[in-house]
Structures are given as structure tokens and as C-alpha cells.
């Protein structure tokens, strides 16, 4: 039987659950035979992973959600290949740098925007009165800068 780690097994389970490509092409990419797959398909981790992927794939996702899921799946599989090419000293510098920038962007590194506040850290109430909108945005923790604790003053 082919020696696949859990990451490879999960990727194989995802491929098989989505059933986008011909299984022979998938097996070739993973370096396994039909006999290997028969043995892998009995592994408890593989069974759970394939069931989970099948549930996600067959849920009531819109076409746009499926496209995002497929794109993210293939991007995840391509990252190690792109990383190896980026690290290859024979790869042209501009291509390696573009790959590096994209990987940093994927990881949220180098983004000058402030990260969004964690919703669990704040208590937010928005009251829409037609033309007037009032928003109360307070920290969940007691913070003397959020409110005046004197009675009757806000």
C-alpha cells in the first residue's frame, strides 16, 4: 500500500469526494494504484475526511461558493510547488518575487490595513431610526475609557 501521510490522505479524500477529475488522473498525481486506493479507503481517517468533504461539497452551496472552494483547494495543493519554484535560484527574480508577494498576501502579511476587530471583544448595537443611525460600540471588558461610571452621566 502507498505510504500517504494524513495531509495527503485528506487531499485524496477531497479529490474523490468532489469527483471533478477522472480517478485515474487523481491516482497518478498521488502515486497510487487502484489496489492502493482500495486499502486507503478502509482507513478510518480517510473515511471521516471523505465523508466531511462530501458533506461540504454536496451542501446547498451556490455556484460561486463552489468555485471559491475548488479554487482554494487547488491553490492549497499548488502552494508547495510554487514555494519550491520561488526558492529555486534559477527561477527569474521577478517571478520569484511575485510568488513571494502573493504568498505574503495570502497570509495577510504586509497588508497596511488594520485587522478587523474581533467581534467577540466588542459589544455593538446599531439603531436605525430611518434617517438617523445611532451606534454604540463598547468593549466587553470594563474599560474606563469606554464609559463614564458616574451615575446619570454617559
125: β partners: 136
pTM (two decimals): 0.47
Phi/psi at 122 (5° precision): -130, 155
Condensed to tens digits (0 to 9), the pLDDT of residues 73-116 reads 778 878 888 899 999 999 999 999 998 888 888 877 876 664 55
Condensed to tens digits (0 to 9), the pLDDT of residues 48-61 reads 999 998 888 877 66
Percent of the chain with pLDDT over 90: 30
pLDDT value of position 20 = 84
Mean pLDDT of the chain: 80
Amino acid at each position: 500500500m502507498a505510504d500517504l501521510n494524513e495531509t495527503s490522505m485528506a487531499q485524496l479524500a477531497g479529490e474523490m469526494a468532489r469527483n471533478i477529475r477522472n480517478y485515474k488522473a487523481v491516482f497518478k498525481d498521488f502515486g497510487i494504484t487502484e489496489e492502493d486506493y482500495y486499502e486507503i479507503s478502509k482507513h478510518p481517517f480517510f473515511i471521516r475526511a471523505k465523508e466531511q468533504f462530501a458533506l461540504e461539497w454536496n451542501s446547498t452551496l451556490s455556484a460561486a461558493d463552489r468555485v471559491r472552494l475548488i479554487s482554494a483547494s487547488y491553490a492549497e495543493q499548488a502552494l508547495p510547488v510554487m514555494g519550491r519554484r520561488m526558492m529555486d535560484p534559477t527561477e527569474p527574480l521577478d517571478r520569484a518575487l511575485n510568488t513571494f508577494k502573493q504568498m505574503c498576501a495570502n497570509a495577510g502579511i504586509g497588508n497596511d490595513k488594520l485587522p478587523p476587530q474581533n467581534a467577540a471583544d466588542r459589544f455593538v448595537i446599531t439603531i436605525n431610526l430611518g434617517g438617523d443611525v445611532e451606534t454604540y460600540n463598547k468593549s466587553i471588558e470594563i474599560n474606563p475609557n469606554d464609559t463614564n461610571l458616574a451615575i446619570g452621566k454617559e
